[in-house]
Structures are given as structure tokens and as C-alpha cells.
Amino acid sequence: MKARNMLILLVLLIASVSVMAGCSGKKEGAAALETVTILYPGERSDRMNEFLNNEFAEKMAADLGLKVEVIYVPWAQYWEQKDIMLAANEPIDLYWDGLPDLSTIVNKKQAMVLDDLIQEYGQDMLKVLPMEQLQGATIDGKIHGIPSAYAPSSAMYQLVAVRQDILEAVGMTDVKTPDDLKEFATKAKEKFPEMKGPADIIFKPLTRYFTDEQYNWIAVEDLVVFGEDSKKAYSYYETEAFQEVAKFNRGMYEAGLYTEDLTIKYNERDSRMQTGLYLWVEGSLGKEMEIVDAIKANAPDAEVKTYLLAEDKPRYVTATGGEVLGIPVNAPNPEGAMKFVNWIYKSKENYLFALYGVEGKDYEIVDGRINKLTPSEFFYEWMFRNQNYQLFGPNVAQESIDQYKSWDDQAVRSESLGFRFNNEKVKLIETSLKEVAGKDLAAIRSGFVDFETEYPKAIQKLKAAGIDEYVAEIQRQLDEFLAGK
């Protein structure tokens, strides 16, 4: 009997040791997960927080052996905080920014060369994000970022997304000119006093309308534009087109159709539009698909349609998208960051999971359309949009989908596509110019101050800050770029 009891005790002891070893193994496994830290703009919803801590965390651990931490920074503080955190070498592995600012990002030593990382960890990504797309983030022959949105892109930022239901309710059918927009805002103010007017000053769509030669922006703070016909660089704020834009917007402000927020809180224009209380916002192709569900959450009867002012003018492809993902020079885990981006594009299943959550819980697919079951945003669709995987919601008109898919068929490839200005020689000048643009010209652009009195003063400051030397340096680099094509 004693021998039998001893045997039982021995078995229990062995089992206990095994359980402890198993628990220890789990702890070691959890500790062994590599951390990837992402800096992200906006606000974290309750559902996104739950998703990151549960389903997403489990998926990252199982598929990549990663623990992904996402640091959200409100839109209004995002760019300033990004610069501060990266300058302080805080442990950030991946962040988002605008592709037009890539040269500045690189010169600030905020983005490492990615060629080797892509070669080793990004091969799945290349199946749906072709190398030609990635070369849009090339400086000195090396890739410094991932242009993450791959979709039709001609006339980028030159469209305006309009509340079509309100437009029709005031007796209008479409908008083709700035005067149409002003008429729309005036009638909407009278018939729908609860509406707060336009969400955006749409200066780029207006610039398209007011200029004969099409422009695209090739420097920071919208300082310099490239003339598609002349192949020359121009100081944007000194162009006739800018002056017409500023005068139009001043008229809108004087008529009580613009609010102060459009100037003071310019970067919150998308958030404003999504409240369901505003009339229009600047956009690119597909903007209505991107924002309609968020608007409907606050205004269930809302319909959104995107218009191109001066539709007869050429549509240029000027960049490989407007978004770029960067991996900081001092990122603690650049390999993990690339693995994460590669994972998103590896399969449609991964893509939908990251952007829309859990199928059956957060979204469902019915008749080839994606129906969101929860209003929360996950990883932003606009940031990772890919035409190989993209699905459209049930509220998107088939007409819009057909237009979207054929949009670039008649597009013209800009001669400036791929040009990246290196500001190394004019950093101090650029800093001074940005200050003038941000403090003086932004208010003029939005119509917030009197054009006739303030514009000459602002241009004088722009000249004193060195705009002519700045444009000359851009032109020098542009000539070299064009000659080398």
C-alpha cells in the first residue's frame, strides 16, 4: 500500500513539474515576442482598443511572433509630436506621413533606406504593391518609404466631395464651378440652418479651376508648384491662380459661409465632414466611398458624391499615392515593422482583418460588397487602400465604382512624377518660408483676412524669407531630374 501511495505521489509530482514547466514556457514565449511600435494619427475607438488587445494581438503573436503597440496622437498634434518623438529617439518603428514631404523626412533623418528590408521581408507585399509604386518614394536611387495606398490617383486632391442629398434638396443637381459651390452653400444655409457650411476651403480643387496651366505641388507647405506645360517651378503664393483662390475664399468668408475653424483648425476638415453637419471637403477619387459610412452614422440619409471642377482640363498622375509609411533611422525593430506591413498585403484575409476587424463581428461580405457591422475605424482604409483587394460598401453607387475603376484610363503621367526635392542647401530658408506660409499666407488662402491689405504684406515677407532663392534651387534640381529621364 505504501509503495502504491509513493507511486501516486511520484506521478503527481511529475505532473506538477510538467504544469510548472508549461506555465514557465508560456511566460518565456510571451516575453520572447518582439515589440513593434507604430505612431498613428487620430483617436483610438473603444472597439479598436479591444481589437488591438485581443483578436489582433493574438493574430500578430501567432503569425509573426510580434507584439504590436499603436500610439495614437490626435490629428492636430500629430506632425509636431512625430518630429519631437523621432528627434528624441523614442522607440518608434513605423509611422505615417504624407508622401509629398518625403524629402524633408529624409533630411531630418527620420526615414531609413528600405531596399534591403524589402528584399528580405517584403516579398509578399510586392505582389500587390508593385516595385514601380515603391519607386515613387525613391531618393538618390534608394527607397526611403512605402507609398501605401495603391489606387487610381490622377487629379489627386483636386476633387471635392459634396453632400449630394443636401445639394439636391436645395434644387441643384451638380457642381462644376466655384460659383456653383457658393450657390450651394448659400441655399443650404437658408434651408438647413442646422448645417455648419463647408468643412474645407478646398484650395487645390479651386486652383485647378482658376489656372490654365495645371499645377502640382513639389515642396513643403505648398510653397512651390510644377507647371505641367512649362515644366517650370513657381512660387505658388505668387501665382494668379492663388490670388483668385484667396479672393474667392474671402468672398465666402465675408458672406458668412465659412467659419473660423476652417483656418484655425484646418487639419480637422475630415473630422468635421464626418459629423454630418458640413457640406463639402477636398478629396481624391473615391473620397465618397471612404467617408460615407462615417457620415451616415451621424446623418443616416446622407449621400456623398465627388466632383472634379474644370472637368475638361487634363488629369495628371503626379505621385504614387499621397501616403507614405516610414521606418525611423533609429527604429529598435525595423525588421518587425517591415514584417507587419508585408503581412497586411500578404493576403486579402489579412488586409480585411487589419482594415475592418473580425468578419461576422465587425463586417460581413454580401454580394461582393463589404457591410460594416460596427462603426469603428480600425487601421485606416485610406492609408492602406489597395486596388487588388479593395471592396466597396453597399452605399456606394455602381456608377461611382465604375468611374473609380476607369479613372486613370485617360490620365496623363506628369513629367515630375518621382521628383523629390532635396532641401539640404536651403534648410534655413525653408524654415523661414514655412513660418510665413503658416502664419500669414494660410489665413489669406482661407479668406480669413482681407486680401487687398494683407496679401502684399505677406508676399513681401515671403520675398524677405528667400522664396526666389528657394524656387531657383528647386528649378536647378528639377532641370537635372528632367534631363536624366
Domain ranges, ordered by start, for the chain: 34-150+320-394
Ordered DSSP codes for 99-138: GGGHHHHHHTT-----HHHHHHH-TTGGGTS-HHHHGGGE
CA dihedral 75, 86, 383, 438 (to 10 degrees): 50
Three-class DSSP category at 155: coil
CA dist., res. 115 & res. 117, Å (int):
6
Cell of 184: 450651394
Residue 293 pLDDT: 84
Residue 392 DSSP code: B
Angle at 284 between CA 438 and CA 133, to 5 degrees: 95
The beta strands (E) that lie in 290-357 are given as: 304-308, 316-317, 323-326
Q: What are phi and psi of 229, to 5 degrees?
A: -90, -45
Residue 26 pLDDT: 37
Three-class DSSP category at 232: coil
Cell of 117: 528590408
CA dist., res. 30 & res. 212, Å (int):
61
CATH topology assigned to domain 34-150+320-394: D-Maltodextrin-Binding Protein; domain 2 (3.40.190)
CA dist., res. 304 & res. 323, Å (int):
23
Residue 363 pLDDT: 97
Residue 7 pLDDT: 36
Residue 263 CB contacts under 8 Å (≥ 6 apart), including other chains: 201, 442, 443, 446, 448
CA dihedral 390, 395, 399, 401 (to 10 degrees): 0
Residue 31 pLDDT: 56
Residue 14 pLDDT: 34
Three-class DSSP category at 42: coil
Residue 107 pLDDT: 86
CA dist., res. 304 & res. 287, Å (int):
9
Counting as low any pLDDT under 50, the low residues of the chain are 1-30
Residue 96 pLDDT: 98
Find cell 517584403 and name the residue: 122
Provide the residue type at 200 as one letter.
Answer: D
